[in-house]
Amino acid sequence: MAEMNRQITLAARPKGMPKPTDFKLVEAPMPEIGGGEVLVKTLFMSVDPYMRGRMNEGRSYARGVDIGEVMMGGTVGEVIESTDHTLQPGDIVQSQMGWQAYGKAIGSEVRKIDPDLAPISTSLGVLGMPGLTAYFGLLDVAKPQKDETVVVSGGAGAVGSLVGQIAKVKGCRAVGIAGSSEKVAYMVDELGFDGAFNYKQVSDYGSELKRQCPDGIDVYFDNVGGEISDTIFPQMNVFGRISVCGQISQYNLDLPDPAPRIMWHFIAQRLMMRGFLVFDFAEHFGKALKEMAGWVQSDKLKYREDIWDGLENAPEAFIDMLQGGNVGKRLIKVS
C-alpha cells in the first residue's frame, strides 16, 4: 500500500471558541508534483491567532478556509522531490503548506532556509512571520523614539515578546500585558521588559497602567483589543501612536462587544492609529530578517518555543493558544 498523507481539515465553522470537533484528521493520497514544483515533508507547523479568522465564512483580508479543506498555515519542512532546479531533496524550506504531513508548492513559493544559521523552527517564529510582524508593526507603523514608553498587549506571545525587546533595542521603556504570572515573570525576568502585569489579577487596568507608565504611553502595540485597549486610549500621550496587529479578545465573540468611543482622544491627544498586515512590508523582509538575526545572535532578542508534538494534536494546541495557554511561539512538531 502506498504511503498516505495526513491532513487536518476544517469540519465545521466554529461558533465562538473553536472545539476539537470543528477539525477532522483525514488521510489523503500523497501529493503528486508537476513541473517546477517541490514535494515537502512537514517538520514544524505554526499555529497562530490569525487562523481563527480564516475559519469564518467569507472574506476578511483573505478568503476563509472551506469546509473540508486543509487548514492553512506556515510550515517548515524538508524537500523530498523537486522538479525546480534551484531546490534539491534534503533542502529545508519555509512555506505555507497548511496543516498536513506533506505538501507541494511551486518552487518560487517556498523560501530556502540555512539550517546552520539558526534552528529551522525559528523560520516560523523570531525569524519568520511573527518576527517580521513585530519588527514592521513596531518600527514602521508606530515609529518608537528613544526614551518613549511602549505598551504591548499579548506581551508574552510570539509577536508581543519580540515587540517589547525591539522596543528595548531602540532605547524605549517596555511594558507588557498578559494573562498569567508565569508570563509576567517571563517578560520581566527573561526578556528584560521594564514592567508587566497580569490583567487577570488587576481589578483596575487604568490605575495599574498609570503606576507602570508614570510618563504616559507613547506607543501601544495591540495584539488583544477589548477592554484593555479601552483603558489605554485615555492614557496615550500627545502625538501617541497605536499599531493594531491583532484583536484576539474579539475573535471568538458571538456578539460584538460595544465599546466607548475613542475619537475624542484622537483629537485632544492627536493620536495616530494604523492597522497592518505583515505582507504589506514584503519587499523589505530580507533586510529585516538580517537585522533580526543579528539581534538574536547578540542575545538582544530572546525567544521561547512552545512545541507540541504530533499533527493530530494541532487542534488542541491551537485552541489552547487562543485561550492564552502559550508562552512564546506555539509550534507543532509534525515529523
Residue numbers at the binding site for a copy of itself (CB under 8 A): 60-61, 222, 225-226, 229, 244-247, 250, 256-261, 263-277, 280
Amino acid of residue 246: G
Q: Which is nearer to a copy of itself, 66 or 280 (CB)?
A: 280
Looking at residue 118, the DSSP 8-state letter turns out to be S
Euclidean distance between CA atoms 71 and 48, whole angstroms: 12
Residue labelled with grid coordinates 477539525: 23
The residue whose grid cell reads 467569507 is 58
Q: Which is nearer to a copy of itself, 205 or 308 (CB)?
A: 205
- Cα 175 to Cα 93, 133, 212, 228, distances in angstroms: 35, 18, 7, 13
C-alpha cell at 50: 490569525
Nearer to a copy of itself, 5 or 269 (CB): 269
Q: Residue 236 Cβ, how far from a copy of itself at the closest point, in Å?
A: 10
Minimum Å gap between C-beta 274 and a copy of itself is 4
- Closer Cβ to a copy of itself, 155 or 195, answer by number: 155
Q: Residue 222 pairs with which residues in a beta bridge?
A: 244
Query: Residue 113 has which C-alpha cell?
Result: 532556509
Q: Please state the separation of Cα 317 from the chain's center in Å.
A: 14
Output the smallest distance, CB 229 to a copy of itself, in A. 7
Contact indicator for 188, 198 with CB cutoff of 8 Å? no
CB of 256 to a copy of itself, least distance (A): 5
Cβ proximity to a copy of itself, 8 vs 245, nearer residue: 245
CA dist 22 and 306 (Å) reads 23
If the CB atoms of residues 2 and 263 are measured against a copy of itself, the closer one turns out to be: 263
Q: Smallest distance from the beta carbon of 61 to a copy of itself, in angstroms?
A: 4
- How far apart CA 149 and CA 147 sit, in angstroms, is 7
- Kindly state the smallest distance separating residue 178's Cβ from a copy of itself, in Å: 19
Q: Nearest approach, Cβ of 17 to a copy of itself (angstroms)?
A: 17
- DSSP-H helix ranges across 170-213: 181-185, 205-212
Nearer to a copy of itself, 260 or 294 (CB): 260
Length of the chain: 335
| 12, three cell numbers | 465545521
In the DSSP assignment, the letter for residue 137 is I
State in Å, rounded, how far the first CA of the chain is from the last one: 20
Q: State in angstroms the smallest separation of the CB of 67 from a copy of itself.
A: 22
d(CA 215, CA 161): 22
Residue 139 or 244 having the CB closest to a copy of itself? 244
